[in-house]
Structure 1
Amino acid sequence: MDDDTVTPRELAERLRAGERLSVVDLRDRDEFETWHVDGPAVAATQVPESRFVQAEVTGGAADLVDGVPEPVVAVCGRGEASDYAAGLLREAGVDAVNLAGGMEAWARVLLAAPVPTDGPATVVQYQRPSSGCLGYLVHDGDRAAVVDPLRALADRYVADAAERGVEITYAVDTHVHADHVSGVRAVADETGAEPVLPEGATDRGLAFDATLVGDGDEVPVGDATLAAVHAPGHTSEMTAFRVDDAVLAGDSLFLDAVARPDLEATADPEAAAATLYETLHERLLALPDDALVAPGHYELDARPRTGDAYAATVGDLRESLPALAMDEAAFVDHVTGNLPAPPANHERIVAVNLGQEEAEDDVAFELELGPNNCAAG
């Protein structure tokens, strides 16, 4: 980082570390309210670009951020208007930098963190701070599997695997995602890896060739395995994967919430919520208290809970999540009564992920911009 600019990766690392800073967003109010840079110690505010233009003529740029704690990061769509605004703020004596590349570049950041296990597998968690999406690389020996990869960042997993000296032999999805475009086929095309999806994906209209796994099936990764655990509720085919003493939980159990049950078009939300209750209590919470849950998403204002990874033990989650202490009726009411807006373009994203519809890379990238919204409130 120089005195004028912060790169998206640098900003992401600072936010993950819990650094306090303010974000001043120059985009339109609706864009800001839908999606903005966030973090556990971020104060975000929206100031229209037009007010900075006016301030250049009349002075008083510092007044636009009066009461906003420093340091300040100025943000816009592509990093141009915010560069201009950050310059005005610095001239007015404010500690301000520009987010290089703006929100478009922010959406391409992918951080990595180790997830500790007690067995042979090395597990790496990939974090997309623009949306809270989490994916994983599991490797042992010279073999690897990538789980829940993002299409927009498919080349990152491939490059990371090459740097680690391992070959990606499987590209795995835990379910048919509704919040982002899957990278399973992109990784498979680039590496020759075998695409793997839960067997229930066929009932949802899967339209491309993939290896299908059911409950108890294993995907070998060197001397380690990904053991499939059918975990329906969020979707009917949702499948978690045990890796040593950890579980890649997908969109079933998060660190701060449980999954929403309404993103599968043919599902009845109340029935799906009841299924999720059964999944959580009979499958995931039945794991040992020290089993580590590594979810498919995290809240943008959350802090990592296992080193730099967003993961927590079953015992910790049982104690910290109120929804897990509810009886079934209260749980169903809670889950179905606290539903945020669905992810943007979720119906089209599902169609793309099933292979029923194609989307060019730039279109796919635009489809998924914004928060994931896969958890119940």
Structure 2
Amino acid sequence: MTDPAGRSADEPHSIAPDALAERIRSGDPLTLLDVRNRDEFERWHITGDGIEAVQVPHTKFIQAQATGGVTDLVADLEDPIVAVCGRGEASAHAVGLLRDAGIDAKNLAGGMDAWAGLYVARELAVDAPATVRQYDRPSSGCLAYAIESEGEAAVIDPLRAFADRYVDDLEERDVKLRYAIDTHVHADHVSGVRALESRTGAEAVVPAGTRDRGLAFDDGVATTALEDGDELRVGDATLTAVATPGHTTESISIRLDGVLFTGDTLFLEGVGRPDLERGDEGADAAARRLYESLHGRVLELPDGTTIAPGHYGDAADPRSDGTYAARLGELHDRLGALSASEAAFVERTTNDLPPRPANHERIVAANLGRETVDDETAFELELGPNNCAIAD
């Protein structure tokens, strides 16, 4: 058995990335012992309900092996302990020392590389004329979707790192990919739309406003630009573009009967941040546009509409089946941002913002075709939390 990064998950005293993700999702208490350097830990580490993340550099374990005192390094930590490093090697050494000292510890097989390579597909329970599968990347909370009907499919907000995964999954079910759709110019991950077009011949689809942002691909691929109200037919299902600017000027949501795929407009725990496209100076105006999109477009839909977001964070609670979605009425009742006045909404979405996604400027440039990055670089650029949401 191997983890998604191709490394063995059958090593003694190890835990596979998917097993760790399930444990985090369940909320069971767990200590994550990160043995990378402090700057690596602060830039990105594993979080979640019930997780206590602690950083102790591997050099201290090497010193303790020579001088004794391994138990002193974890004296204040609660069992069980899962150790993690970049590739699972330094943490495996630390786990060996801990277990020799009688401490309940396991190693994350493949380390943070394998964690970033984990991608879980689950069927999303919806009352709609299509089958919907939600793709979940636990390391960043990125969500993508495959909508299937009568042997045809569309994929919404695909990640380039997992382009082959969508293709393989659809081929396994003998489903033809007709459309690869982005809801906006992503700032946290490299888009898989053009990779899917190249691999399958599917139609590459982006919001019409993407051209105004400087779409600059010169590879000859004909990209379909969706305007508000435009429709795409997938088998017996119809996908309709709904203009929802605010997070970015070109942002759209995609409506399927009974479901709204909101991209980065509306999340289970908040709304999209308004400062990524034009910085702090343009955040107020973008926040007002987001308010108008939410109140004039999204909240006009029936309360029973399933909201399928583009991301989730630690504050989001999954359904019992592990998927991330909620009824619109539930979100309206739960999220203060949806009942706030416009002035209060602008205030809460422009003040005390979290750090911007790592490498967001280069990721945007890649998604617009202004910068060419290979697969390895693309994977490295998007490592870390997405930070695209303003938690309520």
Q: Normalized against structure 1, the TM-score is what?
A: 0.97
Indicate yes or no: 2:321 matched with 1:307. Answer: yes
2:271 is paired with a residue whose SS is coil
Separation (CA, whole Å) in 2 of partners of 1:61 and 1:290: 55
Displacement of 1:338 after TM fit?
2.7
Separation (CA, whole Å) in 2 of partners of 1:364 and 1:55: 37
Structure 1: 4+ residue segments shifted above 3 A: none
2:143 is paired with a residue whose SS is strand
User: Between Structure 1 and Structure 2, how many residues are aligned?
Assistant: 377
Separation (CA, whole Å) in 1 of partners of 2:239 and 2:28: 35
2:272 is paired with a residue whose SS is coil
Indicate yes or no: 2:92 matched with 1:83. Answer: yes
Tell whether the 8 Å contact from 1:178 to 1:343 is kept in structure 2 after alignment: yes
Residue number in structure 2 paired with 1:334: 348
1:318 is paired with a residue whose SS is helix
Map Cα deviations across residues 14-51 of structure 1 (whole Å, 9 max, x no partner).
22233332110011112212211122221111111111
Separation (CA, whole Å) in 1 of partners of 2:384 and 2:139: 7
Tell whether the 8 Å contact from 1:131 to 1:300 is kept in structure 2 after alignment: no
Residue number in structure 1 paired with 2:367: 353
1:268 is paired with a residue whose SS is helix
Residue number in structure 1 paired with 2:166: 157
Indicate yes or no: 2:305 matched with 1:296. Answer: no
**Structure 1 residues not aligned, in runs of 5+:** none
1:236 is aligned with what amino acid? T
Alignment of 1:208-227 (within 5 A): 208=217, 209-227=222-240
Separation (CA, whole Å) in 2 of partners of 1:257 and 1:43: 24
Map Cα deviations across residues 218-250 of structure 1 (whole Å, 9 max, x no partner).
111110122111100000110001122111100
1:326 is aligned with what amino acid? A
Q: Which one of 74, 86, 96 corresponds to residue 105 of structure 2? A: 96
**Percent of aligned pairs with the same amino acid:** 58
- Most deviating of 325-334 and 206-215: 206-215
Q: Which one of 172, 184, 191 corresponds to residue 175 of structure 1? A: 184
Residue number in structure 1 paired with 2:4: none
Q: Which one of 96, 105, 116 corresponds to residue 107 of structure 1? A: 116
Map Cα deviations across residues 176-209 of structure 1 (whole Å, 9 max, x no partner).
0011100111111111111000111010011233
2:389 is paired with a residue whose SS is coil
Map Cα deviations across residues 264-285 of structure 1 (whole Å, 9 max, x no partner).
1377110000010111111111
Residue number in structure 2 paired with 1:141: 150
1:259 is aligned with what amino acid? G
Tell whether the 8 Å contact from 2:179 to 2:202 is kept in structure 1 after alignment: yes
Separation (CA, whole Å) in 2 of partners of 1:306 and 1:203: 41
Q: Which one of 32, 36, 40 corresponds to residue 45 of structure 2? A: 36
Residue number in structure 2 paired with 1:13: 22
Q: Normalized against structure 2, the TM-score is what?
A: 0.93
2:304 is aligned with what amino acid? D
**Structure 2 residues not aligned, in runs of 5+:** 1-8
2:349 is paired with a residue whose SS is helix
> Structure 1's 21 and 179: CA in aligned 2 closer, same or farther, altered over 3 A?
same
Indicate yes or no: 2:77 matched with 1:68. Answer: yes
Tell whether the 8 Å contact from 1:41 to 1:301 is kept in structure 2 after alignment: no
Q: CA RMSD in A?
A: 1.5
